[in-house]
Amino acid sequence: MSYGHQGVKQAEEESRIQKVTSIRRDNYKVTVSLSKERQMSQSPLYHKYDIQKYDLHPNFSFAHLATMIPSNTPEFIDSGQHYVERIVRALYYFKQCSLIGPSGTGKTHIVYLVAELCGLPVWEVNCGLQTSSYDLIGRFIGLGKENWIDGMVTRWLRKGGIMYLDEANMMKQDVATRLNPVLDTRGHLVMNEKDNEVVKRHKYGYLIISMNPYSAEFAGTKPLNAAMRRRMAVWINFDYTSVGDKISEVEVKMLRDRSSVDEEMALKIVQVGAELRKQYKTGDIPYGPSLGDLINWATLVYDGNTANVAAEETIVALTSDNAEVQQDVRRVIQTVFPKSP
């Protein structure tokens, strides 16, 4: 059958429309599928934080890395600092940020929570003096150049998600230097070890570093590499919610809920924790207890131990091995929980 010139043009136009419609339909299906996937996997805590306008991987799925996306992370409650929102905002605009504060203030907890809320896999490295560039970049194993194994940072660059460097100020200088081109406008890693292969940073690859304040207490810490420091756009300081005379009702409630002790006992335990943290911050003792430490103490109290006995197995032994320091901790505890004569 002959359509003639006009008929051919009409047939071509109909075919073009069908193709465009099919493409649009397929794109719509992908978008809807991603949307449904996002809704199904979304944390129940998602709407507790004001982060809805910051989509860290629009129209992109990390379903292939689902096992690396945290789940059931406890809620992070602060006293108006809006840590979750500030971290997500920093990642959205700058792709990287730094968290700094004493041990036990929730830095690692909040990284996992942010990852769960945003549906991002976590690549975690606990940095130390033994962490080498081979661990982060990769290495050849066995014989022959075909046996290359990517390191953690290289895998993150290829696949995306959150690269979490814990205790970043314990990294050796040569390791930190390798990260500099990844964190600036170049956004790539040159693998000198592997024929100078250039690995570009994933479009949705984010980096968070955390560290304790540089001090003699934390063996191995040192000032962060200056070049790396300049590349971290946002710095967020963490602190305890209860310190000295400042007692957080939220922390008391969380302690009570997670250990099942009564209100009075929860308050007293937090008061002890707050005083120990104050002394830690002034340098009088080497460690300030985290909420988790206080929960451990309260759990043993709930199990039937006296507060003083339970403290010996948790707070006292945790703070230091030094007998004099332990005695200082006991004195703080006994101001709130006097020992029976």
pLDDT 10s digits, 13-26? 555 545 444 444 44
Cα 235 to Cα 98: distance, rounded to the nearest angstrom: 5
pLDDT value of position 110: 96
The burial class, CB within 10 Å (0-12 / 13-18 / 19+), for 241 is buried
- What amino acid occupies position 237? N
pTM (two decimals) = 0.79
pLDDT 10s digits, 277-323? 999 888 899 889 988 899 999 999 999 999 999 999 999 999 989 99
Yes or no: say if 89 and 200 are a contact pair by the CB < 8 Å rule. no
Q: What is the mean pLDDT of the chain?
A: 85
pLDDT value of position 128: 77
The structural domains of the chain, with segments of one domain joined by +, span 1-41, 46-237, 249-336
Which residues of the chain fall below pLDDT 50?
A: 1-3, 8, 17, 19-36, 39-40, 216, 218-220
Cα 161 to Cα 62: distance, rounded to the nearest angstrom: 8
Q: Within 13 Å of residue 307, how many CA atoms lie on the same side as its CB?
A: 23
Fold for the domain defined by 46-237: Rossmann fold (3.40.50)
Q: Name residue, tokens 């310190």.
A: 243
